[in-house]
């Protein structure tokens, strides 16, 4: 079958090329594949014999970062743009006929105290970290629903599990991402679509460089000391993170190959420590006010419970 025919009959073309999940070869669609862990995920997926749609705001940067490969399609996608998302998904389906794994990876980091972050900075954080993944997923879901298969992996963070000082905007985006993903899971599971939230700890990418991190302007004396200390700490972490994004990419390949894939993957010993602390905190918070909490039912409900 010629490439031209592939373009006209993508779904038939795909079955003819046996690129569906049954053959083990999948079509990965990755956001933010020009820098950071998106590059490693794209390279790992290609090296494992998959087809990859590597997307980013600048396709030259993505092409240079990911390199050349027969089963690679590079497409422009700013995740804050719904038209970009729709066009990128169309291009992916025209080329490969399907999308098996969506990786919502692209994000940035607006760091600072809530009151020092401007409302516009918070909106930009939510636009890339929360609304962006929603835009791309909204464009991909009709394809996955038609296939009655697919896997949506969204990269959250330890900051999607626990609130951290100086991270109020980033945590808001990542907590939002988690709530949305957890609610999406039962909506799409009956349609054969799986979801996985990934919580990485610190990985050595470009997230803490000035290309990806924007610090709030120090403007409130009450926060001056904390702001200076937190900013110095984050700047010192840049290029010192212990996590290896190439290993994370390999782990995600394994996660995506599971039948069914896990709903959550906590990536890194530091991320596990955060998750365990969160579980402990929640249990303590439950226990501290269990009696008060369980005394809140209406009297007739409580009476019925007591009579049982």
Ligand X SMILES: NC(=O)c1ccc[n+]([C@@H]2O[C@H](COP(=O)([O-])OP(=O)(O)OC[C@H]3O[C@@H](n4cnc5c(N)ncnc54)[C@H](OP(=O)(O)O)[C@@H]3O)[C@@H](O)[C@H]2O)c1
| Chain contacts with ligand X (rule: CB under 6 A) | 31-32, 34-38, 56-58, 61, 77-80, 105-108, 128, 132, 155, 157, 200, 202-203, 205-207, 211-212, 241
101 torsion bin: left (phi>0), alpha (psi -120 to 50), beta (else) = beta
- The three-state secondary structure class of 286 is helix
Give the nearer residue to ligand X in terms of CB position, either 37 or 44: 37
Please tell me the distance from the alpha carbon of residue 87 to that of residue 300, in angstroms, as a whole number. Answer: 57
Give the nearer residue to ligand X in terms of CB position, either 147 or 167: 167
Give the nearer residue to ligand X in terms of CB position, either 13 or 266: 266
Minimal distance, residue 51 CB to ligand X, in Å: 20
Q: Which residue is nearest to ligand X (CB)?
A: 36
- The H or E element containing residue 17 is helix 10-17
Minimal distance, residue 114 CB to ligand X, in Å: 18
- The three-state secondary structure class of 120 is helix
Minimal distance, residue 283 CB to ligand X, in Å: 24
3-state percent helix, strand, coil for the chain, nearest multiple of 5: 55, 15, 30
What residues act catalytically? 156, 170, 174
Minimal distance, residue 124 CB to ligand X, in Å: 9
Minimal distance, residue 186 CB to ligand X, in Å: 23
Q: Which residues pair with 265 in a beta bridge?
A: 198
Cis peptide, bond prior to residue 260, ω within 30 of zero = yes
Give the nearer residue to ligand X in terms of CB position, either 34 or 97: 34
Give the nearer residue to ligand X in terms of CB position, either 193 or 249: 249
Please tell me the distance from the alpha carbon of residue 47 to that of residue 62, in angstroms, as a whole number. Answer: 16
Please tell me the distance from the alpha carbon of residue 71 to that of residue 21, in angstroms, as a whole number. Answer: 16
Q: Which residues pair with 161 in a beta bridge?
A: none
């Amino acid at each position: 079958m010629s490439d031209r025919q592939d373009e006209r009959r993508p779904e038939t073309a795909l079955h003819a090329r046996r690129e569906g999940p049954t053959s083990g070869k999948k079509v990965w669609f990755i956001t933010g594949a020009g820098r950071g862990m998106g590059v490693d995920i794209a390279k790992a997926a290609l090296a494992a014999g998959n087809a990859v749609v590597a997307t980013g705001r600048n396709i030259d940067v993505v092409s240079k970062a990911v390199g050349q490969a027969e089963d690679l399609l590079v497409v422009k996608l700013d995740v804050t743009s719904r038209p970009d998302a729709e066009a990128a998904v169309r291009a992916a389906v025209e080329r490969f006929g399907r999308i098996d794994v969506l990786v919502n990876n692209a994000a940035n980091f607006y760091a600072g105290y809530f009151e020092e972050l401007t409302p516009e900075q918070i909106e930009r954080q939510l636009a890339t970290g929360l609304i962006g993944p929603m835009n791309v997923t909204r464009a991909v879901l009709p394809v996955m629903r038609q296939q009655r298969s697919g896997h949506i992996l969204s990269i959250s963070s330890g900051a999607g599990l626990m609130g951290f000082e100086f991270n109020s905007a980033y945590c808001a985006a990542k907590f939002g991402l988690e709530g949305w993903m957890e609610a999406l899971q039962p909506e799409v599971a009956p349609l054969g679509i799986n979801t996985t939230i990934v919580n990485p700890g610190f990985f050595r990418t470009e997230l803490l460089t000035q290309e990806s991190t924007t610090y709030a302007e120090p403007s409130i004396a009450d926060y001056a000391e904390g702001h200076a200390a937190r900013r110095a700490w984050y700047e010192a972490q840049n290029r010192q993170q212990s996590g290896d994004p190439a290993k994370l990419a390999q782990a995600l390949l394994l996660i995506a190959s599971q039948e069914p894939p896990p709903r959550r993957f906590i990536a890194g010993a530091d991320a596990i420590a955060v998750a365990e602390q969160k579980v402990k905190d929640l249990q303590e918070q439950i226990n501290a006010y269990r009696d008060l909490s369980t005394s809140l039912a209406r009297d007739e409900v409580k009476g019925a419970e007591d009579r049982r």
